[in-house]
Amino acid sequence: MDLITISELFPNEIDAIKHFEAFRWGEVAKCAYCESEKVTGHDSQLRRKCYKCGKTFSVTVGTNLHHTRVPLKTWLYAFSVIADAKKGISALQLSRNIEVDYKTAFAMYHKIRALMAMETNQPDQLDGIVEIDETYIGGKPRRGNKPHSKIEFKYDMPEMDEKIKELKQKGVDFKRQKGNPAKQGEYNKRGTQNKIPVVGIVERNGDVVAEIMKNVTYANIKEMVKEYVEEDKATLVSDQAKYYTKMDKIIDHISINHKKMYSYKGVNTNSIESFWAIMKRGIMGQYHHVSEKRLPEYIAEFVFKYNNRKIDLMFDILIANSMKAKC
């Protein structure tokens, strides 16, 4: 929902409050303490009073926006601005857009990332063609690094052909689907020292999961695959890093040799590389620096936006999560 629509639908604070109440209680407002439906209308401080327990309350009591001093209409503006920014925006820019000071905007943004994380912590299991890859966040580029030239493939790969044939007999189709946004990511070989490893798994034309993995090992990646991937209904595609060599033991698996090519007859990791490109451009272009402590929140933001790219329900999801019991 854009800012103009918000201004038209919620011209004042009471309208915004009623909208949040509808998400929390539905058609009939209830007491935030005893859940009685016998409550008054809004008083001069925009609070209600319960006839049963005698307490006054606002719609934010006991929710993830408990104790907020920011008007709820301003929260709606913030939800809209942040949801609309595919690669994120700086807290300074947010402060200008919604007319609050920088510290308030910074705190609001991190609260919104927490609301996004609530949605990304319980993803459906991934199936079909599933790509896995790791990336590293942080550090500085080395001097003199040149862009990696595009690798041209000009010869056959009998072993890959045999593996592809075997998987196709099981019904796996590596052909790119219509509307798949996957693009080859940028290649920068700059080492991993002093960087934070992040592992991601994406279903082609579907959702993504990503999380920090302090020790990137086969055992840890296996546990992540078991948690997020429906093994008997998925085919895993990876590069030839050592962590993935034993994946055949738990799932149908095929790997692509990035030293020779990026894609072969539809076998590639371009979807997950595309997600890494969005996330890194956001971190480097908008936030510039992200601490290790806060990085999971930033990852949750990019995962949330990626998974809602087709049917944009981000605005309503943020309102609904803000009205859930404080976690």
Q: Using one digit for the tens of pLDDT, what is the confidence trace for 186-196?
A: 444 455 567 89
Q: What is the pLDDT, as a whole number, of residue 285?
A: 82
Q: Which helix (H) or strand (E) holds 133?
A: strand 126-137
On whether the CB atoms of residues 244 and 155 are closer than 8 A, the answer is no
Q: Give the residue carrying structure tokens 């993803």.
A: 123
User: Domain tally for the chain?
Assistant: 2
Shared domain for 251 and 149, answered yes or no, is yes
Q: Using one digit for the tens of pLDDT, what is the confidence trace for 70-94?
A: 999 999 999 999 999 988 999 999 9
Q: Which of 76, 57, 77 is CA-nearest to residue 67?
A: 57
Shared domain for 117 and 131, answered yes or no, is no
Give the type of residue at 158.
P
**For residues 13-19, average pLDDT:** 97
Q: What is the pLDDT, as a whole number, of residue 169?
A: 84
Q: Using one digit for the tens of pLDDT, what is the confidence trace for 235-245?
A: 999 999 999 99
In a domain, 61, yes or no: yes
Shared domain for 190 and 72, answered yes or no, is no
Q: Which of 210, 214, 208, 189 is CA-nearest to residue 199?
A: 210
In a domain, 197, yes or no: yes
Q: Using one digit for the tens of pLDDT, what is the confidence trace for 108-117?
A: 999 999 999 9
User: Residue 223 is part of which domain span?
Assistant: 126-306
Q: At what angle do helices 295-307 and 270-282 cross, to 10 degrees?
A: 130
In a domain, 255, yes or no: yes
Shared domain for 92 and 190, answered yes or no, is no
On whether the CB atoms of residues 59 and 21 are closer than 8 A, the answer is yes
Q: At what angle do helices 91-98 and 102-120 cross, to 10 degrees?
A: 110
**For residues 292-297, average pLDDT:** 90
Beta strands (DSSP E) in 180-244 are 196-203, 208-212, 229-239
Average pLDDT score over the chain: 88
**For residues 208-235, average pLDDT:** 95
On whether the CB atoms of residues 231 and 168 are closer than 8 A, the answer is no
β-pairing, 229-239 vs 126-137, is parallel
Q: What is the pLDDT, as a whole number, of residue 186?
A: 46
Judge whether residue 208 has pLDDT over 90: yes
CATH number of 297's domain: 3.30.420.10
What is the rounded CA–CA span in Å between residue 169 and residue 158?
17
Shared domain for 133 and 238, answered yes or no, is yes
In a domain, 219, yes or no: yes
Q: What is the pLDDT, as a whole number, of residue 221?
A: 96
In a domain, 134, yes or no: yes
Judge whether residue 143 has pLDDT over 90: no
Judge whether residue 231 has pLDDT over 70: yes
CB crowding 167-204: b at 16 or more within 10 Å, else e: beeeebebeeeeeeebeebeeeeeeeeeebbbbbbbbb
Q: What is the pLDDT, as a whole number, of residue 123?
A: 67
Shared domain for 29 and 173, answered yes or no, is no
Judge whether residue 183 has pLDDT over 70: no
Judge whether residue 181 has pLDDT over 70: no
Q: Which of 131, 139, 89 is CA-nearest to residue 109?
A: 89
Q: Of residues 314 and 291, which shows the higher confidence score? A: 314
**For residues 158-179, average pLDDT:** 80
In a domain, 191, yes or no: yes
Q: Using one digit for the tens of pLDDT, what is the confidence trace for 34-75?
A: 999 999 999 999 999 999 999 999 999 999 999 999 999 999
Shared domain for 55 and 188, answered yes or no, is no
Shared domain for 316 and 297, answered yes or no, is no
With residues binned 3-state (H G I as helix, E B as strand, rest as coil), the percentages for the chain, rounded to 5, are: 40, 15, 45
Other C-beta atoms within 10 Å of 31: how many?
22
Shared domain for 161 and 243, answered yes or no, is yes
In a domain, 327, yes or no: no
pLDDT tier at 105, thresholds 50, 70, 90: very high
On whether the CB atoms of residues 295 and 88 are closer than 8 A, the answer is no
What is the rounded CA–CA span in Å between residue 313 and residue 305?
10
Shared domain for 278 and 292, answered yes or no, is yes
Phi, psi angles (nearest 5°) of residue 127: -145, -170
Judge whether residue 13 has pLDDT over 50: yes
Shared domain for 316 and 291, answered yes or no, is no
Shared domain for 283 and 315, answered yes or no, is no
In a domain, 142, yes or no: yes
**For residues 244-273, average pLDDT:** 92
pTM above 0.75, yes or no: yes
